[in-house]
Chains A and B, each alone.
Chain A
Amino acid sequence: MRYLDEYRNEQLAQNVLKEICRVQTKPWVLMEVCGGQTHTIVKYGLDHLLPSEIELVHGPGCPVCVTSLEMIDKAHAIAARPDVIFCSFGDMVRVPGSQVDLLILKSRGADVRIVYSPLDCLNIAKANPEKEVVFFAIGFETTAPANAMAVWRAKQEGLKNFSILVSHVLVPPAVASILESPLNRVQGFLGPGHVCAVMGYEEYEPISARFKVPIVITGFEPLDLLEGVLMVVRQLEAGKAEVENQYGRVVTREGNRRAQRLVNQVFEVGDQKWRGVGSIPKSGYKLRSEFREYDAERLFQIEQIDTQESTVCISGLVLQGVKKPHDCPAFGKECNPEHPLGATMVSAEGACAAYYLYGRHSQGHSQLVEVRSP
């Protein structure tokens, strides 16, 4: 298949691996920002193909994982109401709140629907005028344009029974916060390809300059990731710290201006709480006041919720690249995809869930994997 097979080609991958081995002389710690990239790395065993001195740590770019527990509990309180049809992206429905998840609420009679696009919710709202249709608008800059479009169109069409529960997060402040941390080990980044398809990569240039780290905007296929690693390692070995674009077939420096305009029309930047990390200033989107009639949080006035996080879980450290999933004593034991204790086990894109799904139950597993040096 075009644009897929050539990025999964073994021979081409071997060539890039050889080149990585040739240029690499020192140990380096790299972070891939996106959950989708983590997934590809673990699914294809890329980390085992790389020289052992290149360590990949997994970043905070799993939107489902970093949605705050408080917001999830609010979603559950709204979804449980008999007058509500609650719509969500598929991977959000299994995420546990303090008490339940959306699938359990569904089994108890709540009307919970999985949608692939927030625009589908507008049709559901039109077909069910007696119900309040609420969409759980989560995600990074990638999902923001479609979520903004749903609200913008609802306003255009004068739709009164549609609202969104907003929990949007932004990548650049999270990357900066990782680099500011005294625990930071990351020396170079594989930047978020899809986020940059929308936003471009200008805003990463000041971060790269300020912290003197290379950031290479990278795609999601195995070959994209290997090439991204090669570009970061080349910069590190040469003592450079620049923003480069590996994902040129999708990403431009300025990004999608139309999408950005729409997002800025509907949303404004505000402080945001990240599950497992805490509050990061100016790291999320809120609905602008012109669109407040579509703000589910305001409409449903959920009272303050007491949330309870697991005390064993180290997902905050995993999200910041300080620890690996199997460093956690609960990993694969009391914490698993059926019973996640924390953020990174809840979505398929979370580092812990990816490790679990692809059988990385312990470090000892690497013996099982056939490691091929290029």
Chain B
Amino acid sequence: MAKKETNIVENLLPLLGACPMPILDHKEIVLGHGSGGKLTQQLVEKMFLPRFQNELLAPLHDGAVFFLNGVRLAFSADSYVVSPIFFPGGNIGELAVNGTVNDLVMCGARPLYLSVSFILEEGFPIDDLWRIVCSMQEAAAKAEVALVTGDTKVVDRGKGDKIFVNTSGLGLVDDGIEISPALARPGDAIIINGPIAVHGIAIMSVREGLEFETLIESDTVALNSLAEAMFTASRGIHVLRDPTRGGVASALNEIAAKAQVGISISEDQIPISEEVKGACAILGLDPLYVANEGKLLAFVSPSESEKVLSAMQNHPLGREARIIGKVVADHPGRVVMKTRIGGSRIVEMLSGEQLPRIC
């Protein structure tokens, strides 16, 4: 009975021009909705996807990939609200350039053009803005992309938090390159290009109320040159993903769910620096859920994995690259980790907020 009524309401809606409000777990937005974990997923799947629905959005990849006049393009966007805006190893502007470049790279694209939009709070020091702008220009030059359009808005003091940056980007996808989380296949080797959890810990180390002495610097970097070296070595790469918000655990869970495959990783193969390990132990954080900004996960067909791995290890951004696990046919949708001690456990998606506003 109840079901029938719903159908009537749904049928009437186009006539009434109304928009049925999806039922979510919360009545207000909470920080967890931006954590990249389950709450973000809920917002995207229940609110954005059903209303905006189209075939390019549906894969929920890092960007949309499409043909335009015979040319294959990737298009992606991201906003940056990190606090503090200057942190060891980088700042919000550099992060905004590298982040969108990397989102395009994860679509298999060669990034070309970026837009930049600033939302500035009244009273924000011009000197700070200049530092940010200069480092954005340097980051763009390094990544060989051009910042070709943009926008500036200023909000009243207290209505923003110093500076928010949004970037979007366009890139070209070469023929023969097919990269998508849905393409992960049993047998694929899972490779990471270096030690995890560096960015998140660098940010935490300078957070108000939590300053601790450390030499850890953010790993923020554009990954397009590394990806190019990998594609030159082999076309057997199925999935690329940058484990930013939510860390390696969330990225692997998303891929396992999209491709309906199982993922098996070994804790003792996951590279992590002593400093980061120590900081995580002190702060009670699981490094698998801590954000990265210069890391990528590559899923590579087993016969090509050694080739890709050595191409990565020969590149400055992949010296410490390592195979951390593989795709399996068992336990589809789940990530299982063999623990250092010989036991095993399921690695879940982050369900709330581990670190507020990391990237």
Residues of chain A having any CB pair with chain B under 8 Å = 1, 4, 8-10, 13-14, 42-46, 48-49, 94, 103-104, 106-108, 113-116, 120, 222-223, 336-339, 356-360, 365, 368-370, 372
Contact = CB atoms under 8 A, between A and B. Distances in A.
Q: How large is the interface on B (under 10, 10 to 19, 20 to 34, 35 or more residues)?
A: 35 or more
A358 B345 contact: yes
B117 interface: no
Interface of B: 25-26, 28-32, 38-39, 209-210, 268, 274, 277-278, 281, 283, 330-331, 334, 336, 338-348, 351-353
A359 B340 contact: no
Contact of B341 (A13, A113, A358): A13
A1 B276 CA distance: 10
Given A48-B343, A370-B338, A1 B209 contact: no
Nearest to A121: B209
A216 B353 CA distance: 35
B351 A338 contact: yes
A49 B338 CA distance: 12
A368 B341 contact: no
A49 B352 CA distance: 30
Contacts of A223: 341
A10 B25 contact: no
A369 B347 CA distance: 12
Contact of B342 (A107, A339, A356, A372): A372
Contacts of A108: 28
Contacts of B278: 1, 4
Contacts of B336: 359, 368-369
Nearest to A359: B346
Contacts of B31: 103, 106-107
B343 A49 contact: yes
Contacts of B274: 1
Contact of B348 (A48, A356, A365): A356
The 4 tightest CB contacts between A and B, nearest first, are A359-B346, A45-B343, A337-B351, A222-B341
Given A115-B209, A338-B38, A369 B345 contact: yes
B30 A107 contact: yes
A222 B334 CA distance: 24
Nearest to B281: A4
Contacts of A1: 274, 277-278, 281
22 contacts: A1-B281, A4-B281, A8-B340, A13-B341, A14-B342, A45-B339, A45-B341, A46-B343, A104-B28, A106-B30, A106-B31, A108-B28, A116-B210, A116-B283, A222-B339, A337-B351, A338-B25, A338-B32, A358-B348, A368-B334, A369-B336, A370-B338
